[in-house]
Amino acid sequence: MKKTSTIIAITSGLFFGQAQAEIESEFHVGYNSEYIYRGAELGVDAYEYGLDFAGSSESGLDWSAGIWSISPDGEDGNVDELDIYASVSKDLGIGSVAAGFTVYTYDGGLNDDAEVYLGFSTQSCGLDLGLTVFFGTDGIFQDAVLLEGTIGYSFEVSSKTTANIGIAYGSLLDEGDFADDGELYASASISLDYAVSDSITFSPYVSYNEGEEDILGAVAADGVHGGASISFSF
């Protein structure tokens, strides 16, 4: 807890202390039939909520920070999780570079996990392309290096509805405490964003995930799950 409090204090000083433009904020709640993270199934009937802030600094950097929590069914020993994260990004014209961190905390006295990352994103032929390297710094991610590539495409279905298609692929470059390196997961998803009002959005989704059993073992995901969330911007 002391480490987490220190991270929050540092983040507040770096981002909120430098903010010059209006801060954008959003709160959401949601439900997932399964909680899948990087190819691992971590529970079912999972309810989540999140609070995000974003803005710009005097130095020309964009920033974001937030918390996200999920509570899966605990029958199989799954525990509630709370993540704290922050990032800074810079638009280079040809694309954006981003750097950030995430701290994963758990109920039940389990140790925290943590990682930092560096990523590049751009647009080409109407596609959103991203490549990110995650460096594990604590817990199960310690010393692991993960490379993730993403492809996204969005289009308007109607004046109030936008459809989003996404593909993600992750590979361990260095296994750290995992069983092996190599392909870790692949996923494909489709979601809809329906504007209920100027500040409220309803977003159902369906996703297919496949985790590498040789690395993830019994928790490796393989199948379709879905869910929905509703977000409030203010």
What confidence score (pLDDT) does residue 13 get?
53
What are the pLDDT digits (tens) for 72-126?
987 777 899 999 999 999 999 999 999 999 999 999 888 999 999 999 999 999 9
Q: How confident is the model at residue 20 (pLDDT cuts 50, 70, 90)?
A: low
Using CA atoms, how far residue 102 sits from 8, 83, 113, 134, 159, in Å, is 11, 7, 8, 10, 35
**Over 90: is that where the pLDDT of 37 sits?**
yes
What are the residues whose beta carbons fall under 8 Å from the beta carbon of 59, sequence distance 6 or more? 18
Tens-place pLDDT, residues 51-80:
999 999 888 899 999 999 999 987 777 899
Q: Taking a C-beta distance cutoff of 8 angstroms, is the pair 82, 102 a contact? A: no
Instruction: With cut-offs at 50, 70 and 90, classify the pLDDT of residue 185.
Output: very high
- What domains can be seen in the chain, in order of their start residue? 2-233 (2.40.160.40)
Condensed to tens digits (0 to 9), the pLDDT of residues 218-230 reads: 999 999 999 999 9
Whole-angstrom distance, CA of residue 230 vs CA of residue 26: 10
